[in-house]
Structure 1
């Protein structure tokens, strides 16, 4: 169960000239957040600015990263800081006053809504969105290891020896590499991308993999007939 930090601050729905009247008195919400920057008796933390979010009542929350697993959000009315929400580890920081609800989540995202309005789902800032990629490793016919990666930056392959020495790196902008008689290639086949391993020393025997790591095709070249073109035999797998 997540630890939820709650605090209360005054409404930020004020005109700039009256903002100073809404500053919290000593001993109020800021004192309830001992790690807040500027809190009495607390050394200020080193903070890196992340983003600014406009809240449901028109006020602002400036979000900072303040160390590993820690985010802080200053709630501002004009130039006056009304409060600072702190999320550390898996804790969710929550503040409310005069109908405004604000949530600072462990990934540094902020959501807000007014009393009576539907609670919005969190919408991470584009710079904070967590992207995912999948990868699979296959042992190629030359005994090397190919890591096939499919992610937000597209499909790519890294080939290395079993001991971790890098041999080749491929993507669709640099789709081919050669090493010690072996060719590694990415091939765009419609919407599908294939990884091809070619043994040049055997005359061109080839193995084709999809990005799930499955061997889907093999090409065998019959070079028994000297002086003439080899016979290519294609086999489909799975």
Structure 2
């Protein structure tokens, strides 16, 4: 038969033991206890502000180097390229058509860069210069050299019907004085001038008489008759003298 008094004693012992545990120093109790895991944050439940570490946004260093303006060049189609230097052997060119930027060429490591737009071909060189050409552009046709206008020479001619039936035209003008000789039907016989002032044709002699550089008279001599002569004024073609050789008959 169980004794009814044991239950109160067992209960008292448990309580006494619990009391003994609670009176231990706080530090000793955490030292002997295993680390308690941090409470898990469930999805959708925000972590208490006191438990969140402060967030400092990272500052990303700028990776784009500074651009130094070099020059502006006009391209083959009339657009322009603004050229910038961004480092040793590194250049860039912004291509503009009016105020519209068409794009940027970038040359790196000392090598040229190439680009094209609507048939316009562009080359950007490491020294900051550009060249351009238009695809299928017609080659410029060589322009003919302007021909000098013919000089208007004022000349005047006096027409003389000579005693032998031939015709002489005494011409004076910018190219010098001369006499053009022809037959009555227009067949050309020749010309006499200051360089070659005499001519002989079928027994007749034609001769220029001059004073220095100027011709004064035109003389026709009938050699077969012994020297009968006719002297004409060069400017007007008018007969001014006549000489007849006496035959002695």
TM-score category of the 2 structures, normalised to the smaller one: 0.3 to 0.5
Q: Normalised by the size of structure 2, how large is the TM-score?
A: 0.40
Q: TM-score, normalised by structure 1?
A: 0.41
Q: Point out the structure with max Rg over C-alpha.
A: 2
Larger fraction in helix: 2
Q: Which has the higher contact order (CA 8 A, sep 6+)?
A: 1
More strand by share: 1
